[in-house]
Structure 1
């Protein structure tokens, strides 16, 4: 279908306050050709152009998941599942996981760590039309010290020369972004603890500078409060997790947050659909502290971007909206949450052709039953999905 006129009760063009009641979107050759009221476009568009009429529905930009691991299986031991998997079987599984995300209305994903460049290969297959799936922004192998967090993915570095060489390899492999494991993480046994720094401030600056040589931004996995500060000073583009941990518990630093806002750094909190169980496991005191910190960051003006960490234990690929519901539980307004899933990620990832519906933009859009600005659960009721103007069969 090369051309189609879509009409619905409303069109959320993006940001979320840009709504056309009884709206329409004309899609042609993979891009948005026009947007306006249904009456205007129905009258001006040739009657031979197919109409997709969606009463009771909302047309909006496709959603984005800014933190996934397509090579992980969301099981209890994803490390073994990745490290020992046959490349062919793993590639097939990654296609299925990507399609689960697409079926949930996610038309763009940022994969922040895989092995052997498999995500780049999948990206190429999707871009060529050979495989159906969401648009992929790929990091390839994340940088980490020897024995560090996720070292099994092949990005271990020790010296400055190692750092330069690994970034060069990632860029040559087709990376869209450089991922650095700036602090430890819970996934890697016997690795540094979550709050412990894995790189010095100087090394982080080197990573950002080297990435810039290839016109690539840096996404920093950073749990520790001190490490978050180092990442901000180094000039990373996004901070993943940003959980403000120390050996003594959560310690929030408003001064660092001010620099996050001033430097236009986006934060991906990496919340999966099983967040209620996660809060329960944290316990009342730590869970309360985590929630309060997110609320303080919101009040300070931090730009949040949606990410599920899909693939790590318990983070399922098909439950994207569950993550959004976490923010609703904290008092975020529905419009804020829709922007967190659309406009904000496009800005953070440097994708100037998506995130909103406007003439000339890539036709990544979803059509859902109901109005997500009133009922967030409407995002689960997807009627139609278009990626680069191609309708997706669910």
Structure 2
């Protein structure tokens, strides 16, 4: 489906969450790929499809601020659960370009922005996944003199932002090489000179401190190896970073991942990827210490740090670290609803969690055409029964969905999502 198939749609008397706060009941007009008008007592144009918004809430399409996307089936899975944009945080350049090109052409996929190859030291994370045959070999950064050429190569690959790994091995239980502080500074400077935002993989407090002090734009995970002291929380606020807690992937390595509850929710299960449901049953039988993923961290520490940062003004972005396979239960689409529930359980109000899912990631990554509901913006929209600003799980009850103004038929979407 392409934008050319879009048409006029008029949503009458619907509660609106505009990306920042709930608004009174309003009318909304979609004209082609954009939101044409928002207001009270609007008149439906002749020929428009009219939808009754009574008892429903209209929101911006959701943005997953941390994924790893390798095929179009994952972008379909994301979209069917209301995620209209994914922010990919690293992968093979050819795959990244192919995913972004497909999303540019098709409205039956979530849009995607890509990081391509992440920056790490020789032998640093995730080089161990190359040894296991889970990743293809990729270039690394030996020192500060390599930074300019490395970033230039990422720009040539088509990267929209730069991912930097600061991982000493805590999360996998064995020491890993780290880049020097001088190399980290040189990478961030080179990326900023080329207009790229920088995001650091940091699971520990030490790594988070180093990233913040070096001028990073955002943390791809909240520090989770212990309770963060107040100095770290204040440093994040003072230096203007954002944080993506990724609570669902941290809890995904525990004995009772949030995904089990998601898989049983009747609002979600009919649209879940059948292969993921089958894989989840296999994962149940794997002991937590044998699963691939964080083992030296605790999601409760990440939740505490993220919420404390948020209360001091740090933008909090909802992201899952969604992937698939390798004994990992976190996946595209359905897991995002678990992330939002975990953010609310950690202390955010439902409305704050919705901002973390819409306007906050759009602002953090300069996606100025989405993440809010206002005239002239992209018609990436989600209509749900109930009021998710009061009950975050109401977001699971999707009644209509638009991507770039094109209506997404969820049932047909599901029927084809595993065929690619």
Normalising by structure 2, we get a TM-score of 0.78
Q: Is the 8 A contact 2:222 2:306 kept in 1?
A: no
> Compared with structure 1, are the counterparts of its residues 232 and 314 closer, same or farther at alpha carbon in structure 2 (3 Å cutoff)?
same
Residue 100 of structure 2 aligns with which residue?
Answer: 123
Measured in 2, the distance between the counterparts of 1:2 and 1:352 equals 23
Q: Does 1:67 align with 2:62?
A: no
> Compared with structure 1, are the counterparts of its residues 290 and 141 closer, same or farther at alpha carbon in structure 2 (3 Å cutoff)?
closer
Q: Does 1:298 align with 2:301?
A: no
Deviations 1:116-148 (A, max 9, x none): 33122111121123x621111100011111111
Q: Does 1:24 align with 2:27?
A: yes
Q: Is the 8 A contact 1:95 1:122 kept in 2?
A: yes
Deviation at 1:185, TM superposition (A): 5.3
Residue 356 of structure 1 aligns with which residue?
Answer: 372
Aligned residue among 141, 157, 167 for 1:173 = 157
Task: Please state whether the residue corresponding to 1:302 is helix, strand or coil.
Answer: coil
Residue 266 of structure 2 aligns with which residue?
Answer: none
Task: Please state whether the residue corresponding to 2:254 is helix, strand or coil.
Answer: helix
Matches within 5 A, 1:199-348: 199-245=179-225, 250-272=226-248, 275=251, 278=254, 288-311=300-323, 313-317=328-332, 318-348=334-364
Normalising by structure 1, we get a TM-score of 0.83
Deviation at 1:360, TM superposition (A): 1.2
Deviation at 1:14, TM superposition (A): 2.4
Deviation at 1:228, TM superposition (A): 1.2
Q: Is the 8 A contact 1:117 1:141 kept in 2?
A: no
Q: Is the 8 A contact 1:66 1:345 kept in 2?
A: yes
Residue 382 of structure 1 aligns with which residue?
Answer: 398
Mind listing any 5+ residue stretches in structure 1 that lack a counterpart? 72-93
> Compared with structure 1, are the counterparts of its residues 157 and 133 closer, same or farther at alpha carbon in structure 2 (3 Å cutoff)?
same
User: What RMSD, in angstroms, separates the aligned Cα atoms of the two structures?
Assistant: 2.5
> Compared with structure 1, are the counterparts of its residues 270 and 186 closer, same or farther at alpha carbon in structure 2 (3 Å cutoff)?
farther
Deviations 1:320-339 (A, max 9, x none): 11111111212321111111
Measured in 1, the distance between the counterparts of 2:340 and 2:219 equals 18
Q: Is the 8 A contact 1:12 1:58 kept in 2?
A: yes
Measured in 2, the distance between the counterparts of 1:186 and 1:373 equals 37
Q: Does 1:144 align with 2:120?
A: yes
Tell me whether 271-280 or 357-366 shows the greater mean CA deviation. Answer: 271-280
Residue 6 of structure 1 aligns with which residue?
Answer: 11
> Compared with structure 1, are the counterparts of its residues 12 and 292 closer, same or farther at alpha carbon in structure 2 (3 Å cutoff)?
closer
Deviation at 1:48, TM superposition (A): 2.3
Deviations 1:327-357 (A, max 9, x none): 1212321111111111111111111111111
Q: Which has the higher strand share?
A: 1
Matches within 5 A, 1:49-60: 49-60=48-59
Q: Is the 8 A contact 1:104 1:319 kept in 2?
A: no
Task: Please state whether the residue corresponding to 1:136 is helix, strand or coil.
Answer: strand
Task: Please state whether the residue corresponding to 1:347 is helix, strand or coil.
Answer: helix
Q: Is the 8 A contact 2:143 2:179 kept in 1?
A: no
Q: Does 1:107 align with 2:99?
A: no
Deviation at 1:289, TM superposition (A): 4.3
Q: Is the 8 A contact 2:72 2:102 kept in 1?
A: no
Task: Please state whether the residue corresponding to 1:319 is helix, strand or coil.
Answer: helix
Mind listing any 5+ residue stretches in structure 2 that lack a counterpart? 1-5, 257-287, 289-293, 411-420
* Divergent runs of 4+, >6 A: 186-189, 279-283
Task: Please state whether the residue corresponding to 1:32 is helix, strand or coil.
Answer: strand
